Amino acid sequence: MVPLTYSTSPPPSDADLRRLSAQTAGELQSVCRDHGWALHITAGEPANGSAYVQFPPLRVDVAQEIVAGLRRLLNNRCAECAAIKRRRAQAIRDKDMTTAAAAATAMGRHQRAVH
The pLDDT value recorded for residue 63 is 80
Measured in degrees and rounded to the nearest 5, phi and psi for residue 76 equal 55, 35
The pLDDT value recorded for residue 12 is 86
List, for the chain, all residue ranges whose pLDDT scores fall below the cut of 50: 1-4, 6
The pLDDT value recorded for residue 4 is 44
Neighbours of 103 (CB within 10 A): 21
Q: Where are the beta strands (DSSP E) in the chain?
A: 42-43, 53-54
Q: Is the pTM of this model over 0.85?
A: no
Q: Give the CA angle between residues 7, 12, 17 to the nearest 5°.
A: 145
The pLDDT value recorded for residue 2 is 46
Q: Is 114 exposed, middle or buried (0-12, 13-18, 19+ CB in 10 A)?
A: exposed
The pLDDT value recorded for residue 115 is 74
The pLDDT value recorded for residue 7 is 58
